[in-house]
Amino acid sequence: MSEQPRPGGTVPNPVIPGFHPDPSVCRVGDDYYLVCSSFEYFPGIPVFHSRDLVHWTQIGNALDRPSQLRLPLDSPSSGGIYAPTLRHHDGRFWLIVTNVSGDGNLLFTATDPAGPWSDPVRLAGIHGIDPDLAWDEDGTCWCTVAGVSQVGIDPTTGETLGEPYRIWSGAPGAIAPEAPHLYRIGEYWYLMIAEGGTERGHAVSIARGPSPSGPFEPCPANPVLTHRGIASPVQNTGHADLVQAPDGSWWMVLLAVRPRGGTPGWHVLGRETFLAPVEWVDGWPVVGEVTTELPTPAWPLHPAPAVPARDDFDRTELHPQWISPRERPEHLCTTKERSGWLTLRAAGASLDENDAVFVGRRQQHLACRARTLIDPAEGRGGLAVRLDEEHHYEIEAAPGEVKVFARIGSLRTEVAARPVPAAAVVLGVDITPEPPRGPRTGPDVLTFGIEEPDGSFTALGTLEGRYLSTEVAGGFTGRVIGMYAAAGTVHFDRFDYEPLPLP
């Protein structure tokens, strides 16, 4: 997913680009594993592996069965799965998370992080989001949640061991103390949290104490990380986790965004996973600079296998990068019906509906293009760029016609239409930076069109990208590009995604 090291001893940051927020990481021997929030998308909680903290490969999704992940059709976008914590203890992987769309806090286990993961243990006595797990020397398992409160639990049954109690909630008056992580490092227990909200005021603070429950002494240099008020291409830094490398060095994974354009700046890829070095001074962590280039770590790099630019749908199961809102029943989405094709059957009549049948992948580059070959002979569907039900653009094919649509808030409009032969057609979108036009310059433009038989691209409609951004739409997610069915049955022979060079 990441690019190769650049000349001058740097590697690109973010290390996992695109909509991959709330990272949590653990190391087992020489291997690192990382998970992220997935919100309303199924399958949930992408799981990544790395040997060097820089190059990451998605090895699965922890929640890939309906028995693990219930997302009712009436659950809102940016609901669902919030802020998992991943830990390795006593020979097993432990994953704790909140499903805000109905099931509350849940605990899963696995011997192999690639799966399969267990069905959930329900934590009925744990209230609050962003749960964390830590074990003390006596073997007691402590669960800490946003707020910040803590209680001991039996992780095998989900039973709480007493009543939750407040421990430390960051700076006085700071909003949204959340994302707690508890660590035993040296002689102290450290409690690291995020605060200030997940927008431009996001920050990371830390405290230490003699036991898992404190009392906690705040770091005199808090926040140990924030980019509020700083002129940086990286903003909203927060929601972090710490990990120690085999050589003894310490590192932080965190979420941040890359706003583009003029005022106020729009981030369209969602919150991404960044990496930063950490040094310890007088018993407190000092976080290195977080920017779009990271000094190359001292150890050998292990470039991850590249995700293929084209998916020909030749596998019986979809690659783990493919996600769908809320559910993905096989009778509506399958590669087994027509060999080498993805078949989608419509439920909702458009992407405005919560039950829309949509299969997409996260947009991971600030400039990119996507193409898909669709056979709409039995229905109607197309290629879409989705943020949520009220913010999406698409190019749609029906027998003999192609149309471009835009949904922006309460407005849905037809942008363009063109007759085409009643046959399979290649639909496409190019996403490129918006040409400068002063303070109102947006982040990018999206050009939808069709690929002609000679390989040339005919643009049918160009739309401003700011309306598919968090600053306009709200919420916690990023863009997802993919295929959908709006009526009947449609078949897709391939999907191509490739980055484009930035000017």
Q: Judge if 23-248 and 310-499 fold alike in CATH terms.
A: no
Residue 2 pLDDT: 45
Contacts (Cβ under 8 Å, ≥6 apart) of 87 = 26, 93, 94, 95, 133, 134
Phi then psi dihedrals of residue 448, to 5 deg: -105, 140
| CATH-assigned architecture of domain 310-499 | Sandwich (2.60)
Residue 172, token pair as written in the block:
């006085």
- Please answer whether residues 467 and 268 qualify as being in contact, where contact means their C-beta atoms are separated by less than 8 angstroms: no
Sole residue written with tokens 């400068």? 436
Peptide bond into 223 cis (omega under 30): yes
pTM above 0.95, yes or no: yes
Whose CA is closest to 36, among 81, 3, 72?
A: 81
| CATH-assigned architecture of domain 23-248 | 5 Propeller (2.115)
Residue 276, token pair as written in the block:
């930063």
Question: Which H, E and C letters describe 400-424, residue by residue?
Answer: CEEEEEEEECCEEEEEEEEECCCCC
Catalytic residue among 22, 52, 195, 311: 22
- pLDDT tens-digit profile, the chain (503 residues): 444 555 458 999 999 999 999 999 999 999 999 999 999 999 999 999 999 999 999 999 999 999 999 999 999 999 999 999 999 999 999 999 999 998 999 999 999 999 999 999 999 999 999 999 999 999 999 999 999 999 999 999 999 999 999 999 999 999 999 999 999 999 999 999 999 999 999 999 999 999 999 999 999 999 999 999 999 999 999 999 999 999 999 999 999 999 999 999 999 999 999 999 999 999 999 999 999 999 999 899 998 887 778 999 999 999 999 999 999 999 999 999 999 999 999 999 999 999 999 999 999 999 999 999 999 999 999 999 999 999 999 999 999 999 999 999 999 999 999 999 888 999 999 999 999 988 899 999 999 999 999 999 999 999 999 999 999 999 999 999 999 999 999 999 999 999 999 98
Domain boundaries, the chain: 23-248, 310-499
Amino acid occupying residue 481: I
**Dihedral through CA 253, CA 181, CA 258, CA 364, nearest 10?**
60
Residue 475 pLDDT: 97
Residue 306 pLDDT: 77
Active site residue 22: yes
Residue 503 pLDDT: 84
Active site residue 187: no
Residue 433 pLDDT: 96
- Is the C-alpha dihedral spanning 90, 92, 93, 98 positive or negative? negative
Catalytic residue among 178, 311, 444, 464: 178
Amino acid occupying residue 424: A
Residue 408, token pair as written in the block:
């922006």
